[in-house]
Homo-oligomer: A and B are copies of this chain.
Amino acid sequence: MSEQTQFINGVAGKLNEFVSEKQALMATVSPDVAPLIGSISSLVTGGKRLRALMCYWGWRGAGGSANDPGIVTAGCALELFQAAALIHDDIIDRSDTRRGGPSVHKRFSQLHEMNGWALDNERFGHAAAILTGDLCLSFSEESFTEIGSRAASGSKARQIFNLMRAEVMAGQYLDILEEVAGPVRDKAGSVDRAKSIIRYKSAKYSTEHPLALGGALAGAPEGLLKGYSDFALPLGEAFQLRDDVLGVFGDPETTGKPAGDDLREGKRTVLVGFAINQAQEADAAYLDRILGDPDLGEDDVTRIRTIIVECGALDATESLIAELSNNAFDALETLPVEELPLMALRQLAEAAVSRAA
């Protein structure tokens, strides 16, 4: 078994153990609470484990030993944090599907319907999912603390973990703010604002901080952490730009999300920012009007796609992805790390920017 597979299995096993313990604890409160843990359990079972893997190879690159229990625990903490973020993100974005199945708030609405409970099932779903996300956020922290002294108060790893949490929440706020404030703010600034959003809500959180966290846990010097950042920040930006492109042009079969969900949600991505600035005036006005319309249909999605392609916004975004990827890969090659972590990071980076889902 490869070292990476061993790590992934270790994280999965530890998550499973953690969740089982919590399920047992919750059963002492009431059997009614089981669906909270059930939802968390099913979320942490799947996924690409991108953050855990960045953390692992950051650790290995900085001289950490293979499959140390502490780094497995750090991987669990990142996966639990990601699950918590997804649960709340899906409420915020009103996404009823996640990885092809119902999202957590949708699961609770369905539970309400199946049991013939009173009052509003959608409201119950949202409330239950807010609580499930909070619980999962606490679990993430609990897991992170279990790393012990290397993640104790004042440590570099703890600083990174704290910064990661604060920045991703700030970035998500900027994201929802742009949905509502974008239409009344200056058009020319929309691409820069969208770039700032992906930096905080995604790049720092998905790649830069997890990689640095692994490095810090292994005691990486500042120079290596700087090199990690030069690689991981543009990589994370390219990763999110790819995500935005898939959100408009992706195949629902592969992405597990309905086509056009980002548009219906009113997401003002870099792709959209380019389009607003480069499209014909009438097309730009149409985009401004239609973005965020929950009833946006198949025809609208097709028209928006055409506008984005014809005005050159897709090309501009693809160029940016290429440029950021190049920066990331260039920085990667200069990292003073051994061949194995280097290769693993290269593979992760390639998967991140060329994926179809």
Contact = CB atoms under 8 A, between A and B. Distances in A.
Interface residues of A, number: 63
Interface in A131-177: 131, 133-135, 137-139, 141-142, 145-149, 152-153, 158, 162-163, 165-167, 169-174, 176-177
A21 B174 CA distance: 20
A88 B170 contact: no
Copies in the complex: 2
A139 to B, nearest CB: 8
B138 A181 contact: no
B33 A124 contact: no
Interface of A: 22, 25-26, 29-30, 32-33, 36, 84, 88, 91-92, 112, 115-119, 121, 124, 127-128, 130-131, 133-135, 137-139, 141-142, 145-149, 152-153, 158, 162-163, 165-167, 169-174, 176-177, 179-184, 196, 200, 266, 292
Nearest to A176: B127
B169 A92 contact: no
Contact of A176 (B124, B149, B162, B173): B124
The listed residue with most B CB atoms (<10 A of its CB), out of A30, A124, A158, A167, is A30
Contacts of A174: 29-30, 32-33
Nearest to A26: B170
